[in-house]
Structure 1
Amino acid sequence: MTRVPILEPSEAYALWAPNYPAHAHNPVMLAEQRAMLSLMPTTMQGQSVLDAGCGSGRYMLQMLRRGATRGTGIDLSEAMLARARSEIGAHPDGVHVAWMQGSLMALPVLDAYADTSVCGLVVGHLENLHQALSELRRVTRPGGTILCSDVHPIGHALGWLRDFKAGGHRYAVRHTAHLYSHWHAACAALRLSIEDVLEPMLDPADIPDGARFDQAALEVPVALVFRLRRMP
């Protein structure tokens, strides 16, 4: 079996960005996104929002559609930020969106900036879950909402890779599995209230005909999705 190179996130997304879609583009992402959107407020009128690890901007777009008027998208990859800028495009009068390069470990945003902070499928790229959640807490106002998702740790245990193709070659992004117990301990230490936890399963209808995949993926959850509340 050919060994798939495991790349650091910055290197991986520089390669992936030119062909990275601005929407959920595989069955795991579709399952994760359905769960995230079910926990996102249906109306966010006038809110300030943060998309940490925004990628091509799929969650920023959802929050703008729900009425957010001030948003900041942050990503480590300048190439992914360029995709987000081009995909989101112009905004109506009264709506302001900024795109900034930065790390989830030290977000370049003022304290209590956001009413709602979103971080989709990013924390698995980091080893220090506590520091990532600490930063998300810092930039979210007291009483505000934090929506977070990650690939379910059971997938890591089954040997699944976060892989992609670029230039005719297959690569994978380095991933660290964070167990629910790790999330619980970090949230307790940081005074983040866990309001909801979802463990979405794949929808067989999302799997393309003839796709080759681990059949166990239909029997286990594929993502962990959290709605957290910053306590005063």
Structure 2
Amino acid sequence: MDKATTYDDALGDLFAKNAETSPHNAYTDRPAMLKLAGDVSGARILDVGCGAGHYAAELSARGAQVVGVEGSATLLRHARARLNGDAELLLHDLEEPLDFAADASFDGVVCALVFHHVRNRARLLDELRRVLRPGGWLLISVTHPTADWHHFGGSYFSHDWSDLAVADGKFSIHYQRMPLETFLGELLAAGFVLEKLIEPRPTAGLREIDEARYDKLHRAPSFLAVKLQRP
């Protein structure tokens, strides 16, 4: 991944802190993805773009053997502190082949809110299919295309690389917009079978601390999440 899409330095520190308790990460995407994963006890799982290790920590606590890969040295430092040796964590550019992993060596793959940052998504999907065992599952979440359309305007069908301002404009997150047909089309073209698609809403816990944000995220989708199977 190029520098523009990697959460390094101060942006990485900010993301690691916000992901701990933010309405979008802690109360919306992460609970939805973990629910899609289901029972992971004894499973070997690859966490692609593991960020600050929040998903890996949850999966490990539920009995999974986790290997996390991350392109940001800053985020990987946070992940190592959070996991404290409970997962294997590797610095790896997702634009490159997953040459550290053998064929059919994982039962599941989690790719949370990173897919839209990758330029060579076709190669990444080919690699994920290669390292998954037959019958293994792939979880992917992305920014919801209608949320992007609402925020950036223009055409819903835009494939523009865009910059989303965060922290009152101090930083920006660089990623590619894509309509639903592109997102699903790429996954199906890579040979995966769609099992379930959801538009995550925040859990009830958010209502207790921020009722306005809870109501807003129940009216307009922020993320899209899918579970697929490798035949």
TM-score by length of 1: 0.80
Q: In structure 2, what residue type is equivalent to 1:186?
A: E
**Stretch moving more, 17-26 or 149-158:** 17-26
1:33-72 aligned within 5 A = 33-42=30-39, 44-69=40-65, 71-72=66-67
Shift of 1:90: 3.7
1:16-165 aligned within 5 A = 16-19=11-14, 20-21=16-17, 23-29=19-25, 30-42=27-39, 44-69=40-65, 71-91=66-86, 97-106=87-96, 107-108=98-99, 109-159=101-151, 162-165=164-167
CA contact 2:24–2:202 (8 Å) conserved in 1: yes
Shift of 1:130: 2.8
Shift of 1:203: 5.8
Per-residue CA deviation, residues 84-131 of structure 1 (Å, 9 max, x unaligned), is: 00111144xxxxx32111122323422222111101000121234333
Q: In structure 2, what residue type is equivalent to 1:195?
A: E
1:147-226 aligned within 5 A = 147-159=139-151, 162-165=164-167, 170-202=170-202, 206=206, 218-226=218-226
The 2-side partners of 1:205 and 1:183 are apart by 30
SS in 2 for 1:110: coil
Shift of 1:140: 1.3
CA contact 2:46–2:110 (8 Å) conserved in 1: yes
Shift of 1:8: 1.0
CA contact 1:52–1:118 (8 Å) conserved in 2: yes
The 1-side partners of 2:203 and 2:88 are apart by 34
Q: Percent identity?
A: 26
SS in 2 for 1:27: coil
Provide the residue aligned with 1:3 in structure 2. Answer: none
The 2-side partners of 1:206 and 1:104 are apart by 32
TM-score by length of 2: 0.80
Q: When the two structures are aligned, how many residues end up with a matched partner?
A: 213
Shift of 1:24: 4.3
Distance 1:52 1:79, change over 3 A: same
CA contact 2:116–2:177 (8 Å) conserved in 1: yes
Structure 1 or 2: more helix by fraction: 2
5+ residue gaps, structure 1, are: 1-6, 92-96
CA contact 1:202–1:221 (8 Å) conserved in 2: no
The 2-side partners of 1:180 and 1:210 are apart by 29
Distance 1:114 1:22, change over 3 A: farther
Larger RCO (alpha carbons 8 Å, 6+ apart) = 1
The 2-side partners of 1:139 and 1:178 are apart by 26
The 1-side partners of 2:22 and 2:134 are apart by 35
Distance 1:169 1:185, change over 3 A: closer
The 2-side partners of 1:223 and 1:37 are apart by 14
5+ residue gaps, structure 2, are: 153-162
The 2-side partners of 1:131 and 1:179 are apart by 20
Distance 1:184 1:209, change over 3 A: closer
Q: In structure 2, what residue type is equivalent to 1:101?
A: L
Shift of 1:226: 0.7
CA contact 1:112–1:141 (8 Å) conserved in 2: yes
SS in 2 for 1:135: helix
